[in-house]
């Protein structure tokens, strides 16, 4: 049977589902979105600018590309960018590819279609096998438990039978041969179980020495580093400059008391630092780890690698040799976190542990009437049963998912609850039927994710009201300023 044809970028962009979504928007807003008004900040070509934050979610990040593709097709471009984990990947790529005025999602999609996601699972072969079985086969853990129990029962029965034969049965010739056979089998099984135990112990030691991560994450780092190199980004300075490149002909649709002040492009990826237990914003906080001309020793691919270090699945990302005696480093740690003594090294895991949807970094208390909106792309992979309020109906996986989601979403959820108007700019992609850790995802599933993102973007644009957003934002700020100070 011939192998299935590998999908190309054109298969994604010419998908009937994606084309249908674009036709819906064009019928309302025009061929290039010229009738769409969702920002007062424009460039010389008439593109409208927004600040964009993208949520983390493993392989579900393909859906983010589908979402941003539709936004770009409607003439939307991105001023400031922020993201965590998978959101950090698309955020970084949007920051480095081409110019601010250009469409970028199709070029990012090309890199994704060429990538075999299973290559990202670059750990020990035994670990890769277990991960694949666990993710792709339902009930695999249950089967594994049954195999272990069955093996334990078999060994116990074999051991008991051997002892009975040795001490209780007569030692005539036929029984002696049978007993000897049992002893040989028992020794062989014992040796096999001992070897298995030794191997498991060796794997656990390897896990500990590698920062409690099954996969080194080296393949991802090298892949992203090469993409950055192809786009002229070789160090942190290049990353900042590319993300912060000026927008040609930037202007406002109407008069605003603040003019263009503060409308400067930048990029932020979020990582969680375990030694000092802090949320770190890269590249803004690179000065915590290197000073002056040593800053470019940190490669931006490492910053994104730090953000997507899913605990246990990937090894922690380390920054070693922090010059903790350097006065500028000491000052940076004190100003950022109140830490008097900087650590010798930093250890990072997924930024989603502390802030999986970092929309709060775009809040500017000095602005009363916004000149551009903050858009957010939310990835919702909660299954209907595990998302329900009937706790007795949750699965075990759903229970632990709830614990994890409570930790990683509380900080961002708290900000949104206190500033509810930001929900106007958030579009949600429903992905309950996808597994965010399925790095064995097929091309067909990638296409389905891309289409799901495109459909979510269409729903969002058809419902977004820029004037209502501005009004809510203004009311929110006025309300905050009028609140009396607590004694």
Three-state secondary structure call for residue 220: helix
Distance of CA 217 to the CA centre of its chain: 14
This prediction's pTM: 0.84
The average pLDDT across 170-194 equals 76
pLDDT of residue 158: 79
The average pLDDT across 375-386 equals 78
pLDDT of residue 202: 67
Burial tier of 59 (Cβ tally within 10 Å: 0-12, 13-18, 19+): buried
* Nearest alpha-carbon partner for 443 in 4, 108, 56, 20: 4
pLDDT of residue 384: 55
The average pLDDT across 300-317 equals 92
pLDDT > 70: what percent of the chain?
83
At residue 350, does pLDDT exceed 50?
yes
pLDDT of residue 172: 62
The average pLDDT across 361-387 equals 83
Q: Which residues does 438 contact at the CB level (< 8 Å), separation at least 6?
A: 58, 59, 135, 136, 445
* Nearest alpha-carbon partner for 266 in 287, 245, 285: 245
List the alpha helices (DSSP H) in 352-442. Answer: 384-387, 396-418
At residue 130, does pLDDT exceed 90?
no
pLDDT of residue 1: 34
> What is d(CA 338, CA 288) in angstroms, rounded to the nearest whole number?
12
For the chain, give the mean pLDDT. Answer: 86
- First-to-last CA distance in the chain? 77
pLDDT of residue 124: 76
pLDDT tier at 2, thresholds 50, 70, 90: very low
Burial tier of 423 (Cβ tally within 10 Å: 0-12, 13-18, 19+): middle
For the ranges 17-26, 178-187, 306-315, 333-342, the lowest mean pLDDT is seen at 178-187
Q: Which residue has the higher pLDDT, 81 or 169?
A: 81
**Highest mean pLDDT of the ranges 69-73, 151-155, 201-205, 338-342:** 69-73
């Amino acid at each position: 049977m011939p192998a299935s044809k590998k999908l190309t970028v054109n298969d994604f962009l010419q998908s009937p589902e994606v084309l249908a979504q674009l036709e819906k928007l064009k019928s309302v807003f025009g061929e290039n979105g010229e009738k769409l008004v969702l920002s007062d900040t424009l460039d010389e070509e008439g593109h409208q600018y927004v600040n964009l934050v993208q949520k983390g979610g493993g392989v579900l990040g393909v859906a983010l590309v589908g979402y941003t593709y539709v936004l770009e097709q409607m003439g939307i471009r991105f001023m400031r960018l922020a993201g965590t984990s998978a959101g950090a990947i698309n955020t970084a790529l949007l920051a480095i590819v081409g110019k601010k005025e250009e469409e970028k999602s199709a070029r990012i999609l090309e890199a994704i279609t060429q990538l075999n996601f299973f290559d990202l699972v670059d750990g020990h072969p035994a670990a890769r096998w277990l991960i694949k079985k666990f993710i792709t086969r339902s009930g695999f853990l249950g089967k594994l438990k049954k195999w272990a129990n069955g093996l334990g029962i078999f060994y116990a029965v074999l051991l008991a039978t051997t002892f009975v034969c040795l001490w209780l049965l007569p030692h005539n010739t036929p029984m002696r041969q049978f007993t000897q056979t049992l002893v040989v089998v028992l020794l062989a099984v014992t040796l096999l179980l001992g070897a298995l135990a030794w191997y498991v112990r060796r794997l656990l030691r390897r896990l500990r020495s590698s920062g409690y991560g099954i996969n080194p994450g080296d393949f991802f780092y090298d892949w992203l580093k090469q993409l950055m190199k192809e786009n002229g980004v070789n160090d942190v300075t290049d990353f900042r400059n590319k993300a912060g490149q000026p927008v040609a002909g930037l202007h406002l649709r109407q008069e605003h008391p603040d003019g263009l002040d503060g409308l400067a492009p930048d990029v932020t990826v979020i990582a969680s630092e375990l030694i000092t237990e802090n949320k770190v914003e890269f590249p803004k906080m690179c000065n915590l780890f290197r000073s002056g001309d040593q800053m470019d020793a940190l490669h931006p691919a490492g910053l994104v690698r730090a953000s997507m270090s899913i605990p246990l699945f990937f090894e922690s990302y380390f920054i070693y040799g922090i010059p903790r005696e350097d006065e500028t480093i000491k000052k940076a740690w004190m100003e950022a976190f109140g830490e008097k003594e900087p650590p010798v090294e930093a250890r990072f895991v997924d930024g989603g542990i502390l802030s999986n949807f970092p929309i709060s970094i775009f809040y500017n208390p000095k602005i009363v009437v916004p000149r551009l909106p903050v858009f957010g792309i939310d990835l919702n992979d909660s299954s209907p049963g595990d998302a329900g309020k009937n706790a007795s109906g949750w699965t075990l996986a759903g229970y632990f998912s709830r614990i994890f989601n409570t930790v990683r979403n509380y900080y961002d959820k708290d900000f949104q609850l206190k500033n509810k108007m930001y929900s106007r700019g958030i579009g949600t992609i429903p992905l309950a039927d996808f597994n965010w850790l399925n790095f064995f995802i097929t091309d067909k599933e990638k296409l389905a994710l891309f289409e799901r993102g495109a459909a979510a973007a269409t729903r969002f644009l058809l419902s977004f009201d820029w004037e209502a957003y501005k009004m809510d934002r203004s009311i929110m700020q006025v309300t905050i300023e009028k609140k009396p100070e607590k004694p």
